[in-house]
Structure 1
Amino acid sequence: MAKKEEFEHESIQDNRSISNYLQALIDGFESGKITFNSEGQQINLYPNDMLELSIRAKKKGGKNKIAIRLFWKDSNGEAPSGSEFRISTT
Protein backbone atom coordinates (compact mmCIF):
# COMPACT_ATOMS: atom_id res chain seq x y z
CA MET A 1 0.00 0.00 0.00
CA ALA A 2 1.30 3.44 -0.94
CA LYS A 3 2.26 5.90 1.77
CA LYS A 4 -0.30 8.69 2.24
CA GLU A 5 1.14 12.21 2.22
CA GLU A 6 -0.95 15.27 3.06
CA PHE A 7 -0.42 19.01 3.28
CA GLU A 8 -2.86 21.59 4.61
CA HIS A 9 -2.60 25.32 5.18
CA GLU A 10 -5.12 28.04 6.05
CA SER A 11 -4.45 31.73 6.54
CA ILE A 12 -5.72 35.23 5.82
CA GLN A 13 -3.80 36.81 2.90
CA ASP A 14 -4.09 40.02 0.92
CA ASN A 15 -5.07 40.06 -2.74
CA ARG A 16 -1.46 40.48 -3.93
CA SER A 17 -0.25 37.45 -1.92
CA ILE A 18 -3.03 35.30 -3.37
CA SER A 19 -2.02 36.42 -6.87
CA ASN A 20 1.58 35.40 -6.11
CA TYR A 21 0.48 31.96 -4.87
CA LEU A 22 -1.68 31.43 -7.96
CA GLN A 23 1.23 32.44 -10.20
CA ALA A 24 3.48 29.96 -8.36
CA LEU A 25 0.88 27.26 -9.08
CA ILE A 26 0.82 28.24 -12.76
CA ASP A 27 4.62 28.05 -12.87
CA GLY A 28 4.51 24.64 -11.17
CA PHE A 29 1.99 23.23 -13.63
CA GLU A 30 4.12 24.49 -16.49
CA SER A 31 7.34 23.04 -15.04
CA GLY A 32 5.78 19.78 -13.85
CA LYS A 33 6.59 20.18 -10.15
CA ILE A 34 4.77 21.96 -7.32
CA THR A 35 6.22 22.07 -3.80
CA PHE A 36 4.12 23.12 -0.82
CA ASN A 37 5.95 24.16 2.37
CA SER A 38 4.66 25.47 5.70
CA GLU A 39 5.71 25.07 9.33
CA GLY A 40 7.78 21.93 8.80
CA GLN A 41 5.29 20.31 6.40
CA GLN A 42 6.30 19.70 2.80
CA ILE A 43 4.85 17.84 -0.15
CA ASN A 44 6.02 17.64 -3.77
CA LEU A 45 3.47 17.05 -6.51
CA TYR A 46 4.23 16.29 -10.14
CA PRO A 47 1.26 17.22 -12.34
CA ASN A 48 1.13 15.49 -15.69
CA ASP A 49 -0.57 16.50 -18.94
CA MET A 50 -4.09 15.30 -18.09
CA LEU A 51 -5.88 16.73 -15.05
CA GLU A 52 -9.47 16.83 -13.88
CA LEU A 53 -10.70 20.34 -13.05
CA SER A 54 -13.57 21.22 -10.70
CA ILE A 55 -14.55 24.85 -10.06
CA ARG A 56 -17.37 26.16 -7.89
CA ALA A 57 -18.25 29.79 -7.30
CA LYS A 58 -20.83 31.00 -4.76
CA LYS A 59 -22.19 34.32 -3.66
CA LYS A 60 -24.57 34.54 -0.70
CA GLY A 61 -25.27 37.83 0.96
CA GLY A 62 -21.92 39.50 1.51
CA LYS A 63 -19.91 36.26 1.38
CA ASN A 64 -18.12 35.05 -1.75
CA LYS A 65 -16.38 31.74 -2.34
CA ILE A 66 -14.34 30.14 -5.10
CA ALA A 67 -13.32 26.51 -4.73
CA ILE A 68 -10.82 25.12 -7.25
CA ARG A 69 -9.92 21.44 -7.19
CA LEU A 70 -7.50 19.65 -9.48
CA PHE A 71 -7.07 15.88 -9.64
CA TRP A 72 -4.64 13.64 -11.50
CA LYS A 73 -3.04 10.25 -11.28
CA ASP A 74 0.71 9.82 -11.36
CA SER A 75 0.40 7.84 -14.61
CA ASN A 76 -2.55 8.94 -16.70
CA GLY A 77 -2.96 8.17 -20.38
CA GLU A 78 -6.70 8.87 -20.57
CA ALA A 79 -8.20 11.17 -23.19
CA PRO A 80 -9.64 14.51 -22.05
CA SER A 81 -13.36 14.85 -21.43
CA GLY A 82 -15.70 17.65 -20.47
CA SER A 83 -17.23 20.73 -21.99
CA GLU A 84 -15.74 24.06 -23.00
CA PHE A 85 -14.92 26.29 -20.05
CA ARG A 86 -13.79 29.91 -19.72
CA ILE A 87 -12.78 32.33 -16.97
CA SER A 88 -12.80 36.04 -17.79
CA THR A 89 -12.07 39.27 -15.96
CA THR A 90 -14.52 41.42 -17.93
Structure 2
Amino acid sequence: MRQGKKNFRHESLQDCASIERLLKSITQGIGKGSLVLSDDEDEMELKPDGLLQLKVTASQDSEKHRLNLRITWTAADSEGIKQKKLKVKSD
Protein backbone atom coordinates (compact mmCIF):
# COMPACT_ATOMS: atom_id res chain seq x y z
CA MET A 1 0.00 0.00 0.00
CA ARG A 2 1.29 3.45 -0.87
CA GLN A 3 2.08 5.66 2.10
CA GLY A 4 0.88 9.24 2.36
CA LYS A 5 3.06 12.18 1.45
CA LYS A 6 5.60 13.22 4.06
CA ASN A 7 7.32 16.59 4.18
CA PHE A 8 10.43 17.90 5.84
CA ARG A 9 11.28 21.60 5.89
CA HIS A 10 14.10 23.43 7.61
CA GLU A 11 15.08 27.07 7.26
CA SER A 12 17.93 28.82 9.07
CA LEU A 13 20.79 31.24 8.61
CA GLN A 14 24.14 29.51 8.07
CA ASP A 15 27.63 30.69 7.17
CA CYS A 16 29.38 29.43 4.02
CA ALA A 17 31.43 26.80 5.89
CA SER A 18 28.28 25.31 7.46
CA ILE A 19 26.53 25.17 4.09
CA GLU A 20 29.60 23.44 2.62
CA ARG A 21 29.49 20.78 5.37
CA LEU A 22 25.76 20.23 4.85
CA LEU A 23 26.19 19.85 1.09
CA LYS A 24 29.04 17.37 1.62
CA SER A 25 26.81 15.33 3.95
CA ILE A 26 24.03 15.39 1.36
CA THR A 27 26.33 14.18 -1.42
CA GLN A 28 27.72 11.42 0.81
CA GLY A 29 24.19 10.30 1.70
CA ILE A 30 23.19 10.24 -1.96
CA GLY A 31 26.30 8.19 -2.75
CA LYS A 32 25.51 5.70 0.02
CA GLY A 33 21.82 5.47 -0.90
CA SER A 34 20.53 6.75 2.43
CA LEU A 35 20.00 10.34 3.44
CA VAL A 36 18.57 11.29 6.85
CA LEU A 37 17.35 14.85 7.33
CA SER A 38 16.52 15.99 10.85
CA ASP A 39 16.20 18.99 13.13
CA ASP A 40 14.69 19.55 16.57
CA GLU A 41 11.17 19.06 15.24
CA ASP A 42 11.22 16.36 12.58
CA GLU A 43 13.17 13.62 10.80
CA MET A 44 12.92 12.02 7.38
CA GLU A 45 14.94 9.30 5.66
CA LEU A 46 15.29 9.28 1.89
CA LYS A 47 16.69 6.40 -0.15
CA PRO A 48 17.97 7.72 -3.49
CA ASP A 49 18.48 5.01 -6.07
CA GLY A 50 18.69 4.63 -9.82
CA LEU A 51 18.56 7.67 -12.06
CA LEU A 52 18.10 10.98 -10.29
CA GLN A 53 16.87 14.15 -11.98
CA LEU A 54 18.87 17.29 -11.21
CA LYS A 55 17.49 20.80 -11.70
CA VAL A 56 19.64 23.87 -10.99
CA THR A 57 18.27 27.41 -11.17
CA ALA A 58 19.90 30.69 -10.19
CA SER A 59 18.87 34.32 -10.13
CA GLN A 60 20.31 37.58 -8.92
CA ASP A 61 19.38 41.19 -8.62
CA SER A 62 21.09 44.06 -6.85
CA GLU A 63 20.04 42.88 -3.37
CA LYS A 64 19.21 39.19 -3.49
CA HIS A 65 20.99 36.21 -5.01
CA ARG A 66 19.38 32.78 -5.12
CA LEU A 67 20.54 29.26 -5.96
CA ASN A 68 18.04 26.40 -6.03
CA LEU A 69 19.01 22.75 -6.32
CA ARG A 70 16.34 20.12 -6.85
CA ILE A 71 17.03 16.40 -6.95
CA THR A 72 14.14 14.03 -7.61
CA TRP A 73 13.74 10.33 -8.22
CA THR A 74 11.03 7.72 -8.24
CA ALA A 75 11.10 5.44 -5.24
CA ALA A 76 9.51 2.03 -5.01
CA ASP A 77 6.96 1.50 -2.26
CA SER A 78 8.29 -0.19 0.85
CA GLU A 79 6.37 -3.32 -0.21
CA GLY A 80 7.69 -3.06 -3.76
CA ILE A 81 5.99 -2.23 -7.00
CA LYS A 82 3.80 -5.06 -8.18
CA GLN A 83 4.29 -5.94 -11.81
CA LYS A 84 1.01 -6.22 -13.69
CA LYS A 85 0.75 -8.07 -16.95
CA LEU A 86 -0.55 -6.07 -19.86
CA LYS A 87 -3.05 -7.91 -22.01
CA VAL A 88 -4.19 -6.63 -25.39
CA LYS A 89 -6.91 -8.31 -27.41
CA SER A 90 -7.89 -7.55 -30.95
CA ASP A 91 -11.04 -9.23 -32.23
Identity over aligned pairs, percent? 27
1:8 aligns with 2:17: no
Superposed CA RMSD in Å reads 1.1
Between the aligned partners of 1:13 and 1:21, the Cα distance in structure 2 is 10
1:40 maps onto 2:48 in alignment = no
1:46-71 deviations in whole A, cap 9, x for unaligned?
Answer: 00120111110111113110001111
Runs of 4+ in 1 over 3 A off after TM superposition: none
Unpaired runs of 5+ residues, structure 2, are 77-91
Q: How many aligned residue pairs are there?
A: 75
What is the CA–CA distance in structure 1 between the aligned matches of 2:41 and 2:16, rounded to whole Å?
25
> Which blocks of at least 5 consecutive residues in structure 1 are unaligned?
76-90
Under a length normalisation based on structure 1, what TM-score does the superposition of the two structures give?
Answer: 0.78
> Within 5 Å, which residues of 2 pair with 1:31-70?
31-70=32-71
Q: In 2, Cα distance between the equivalents of 1:52 and 1:68?
A: 11
Output the TM-score relative to the length of structure 2: 0.77
Q: Larger relative contact order (C-alpha < 8 A, sep ≥ 6)? A: 2
